[in-house]
Structure formats: C-alpha cells, structure tokens
Amino acid sequence: MSRRPGYALKTDGCHAEIVEYLRLHGVEVHDFASARNALDVLFFYDGQAGWIEFKMSKQNRPRYTYQQLRFIAETRMPVFFASDRDAALTFARTLRGGILQIEKDRMAYRLAQMVDRRKLFTPNHVERMMAGGSVRDG
C-alpha cells in the first residue's frame, strides 16, 4: 500500500500559527488541512471568500497531490499559495496575487492528460502547468 494518499494530510510547520494570525486580524478561517481533497483553509473577510494553501519554503520541498491541484483547477473561488503569514493576510484582505482563471484552466488541461494520478507535484511543476508547459520532467 502506498503512503502517498496520506501525504496531503500533513500540515505545514507554521500552519497553526498562520491560522491564529489570520484570526487575530479579523479573518474568519475554516481549517480544511485534514480533508483529503481540499486546500489548507477557507477564509471569509469583509464579504470575500477564498482558499489559501500554505507552502512555507522550497527547502521543505513542498508537494501537491493530484487531488489538490484538481481542486484548485475546478474551484471558481480565489486561490493563493501563501509562503508566510503576512502574504496570507494580504491576500485575505485584498484577493490580489491569487491564481488567475486562465492559469487554473491550463492546469485543468494538463491534469486531464495525466495517467499517473498518484504523482506528487513540486512548485516548479505547478508553475509550468499554469504557464501551459509540460510537467513530464521534475
């Protein structure tokens, strides 16, 4: 049995700290980190809502599952990859800097071509998908 399905259940090192930081600044946060196919948090702020996925550093070698990327590609809500708590708060307040719909569409197209849906994707894979490139090589 592969251990990969549980990969998405791991939380990033500063997850709880960032959630608390957002809440202290008036952001309503619903934590979905333990949900298999969702992103880390769903937030509501000043009549706006969106998703934030925490990926702290490239040194920790963040990985995304096929299901996470599929969720991002299919949701019409704003999505942001947060590298720190201030970036997460800025996005929650402004919705600026999120993934564009065209990038989600490109990602959906590339994901539809995937045969191995157990693959884990690096931030570089994701960037190439959103730009319309191939993700065959890591």
Residue 99 maps to a domain: yes
Least confident of 22-26, 87-91, 100-104, 111-115: 111-115
53 domain residue, yes or no? yes
Domain membership of residue 138 (yes or no) is no
Answering whether pTM is above 0.75, one says: yes
Confidence of residue 5 (pLDDT cuts 50, 70, 90): very low
Question: What is the reported pLDDT for 48?
Answer: 96
pLDDT value of position 2: 39
**Any idea what the CATH number is for the domain that residue 108 is in?**
3.40.1350
Q: Where in the sequence is the domain holding 68, given as residue range(s)?
A: 10-130
20: Cβ contacts below 8 Å, ≥ 6 apart: none
Q: Is 112 among the domain residues?
A: yes
**In total, how many domains does the chain have?**
1
Sign of CA dihedral 116, 118, 124, 129: positive
Neighbouring CB atoms inside 10 A of 64's CB total: 23
For the segment 61-76, the average pLDDT, to the nearest whole number, is 90
Evaluate whether 75 touches 99 at the Cβ level (below 8 Å): no
pLDDT band at 34; cut points 50, 70, 90: confident
- Residue 27 domain-assigned? yes
Looking at residue 14, its pLDDT comes to 82
**pLDDT of residue 101 exceeding 90:** yes
Residues in the chain: 138
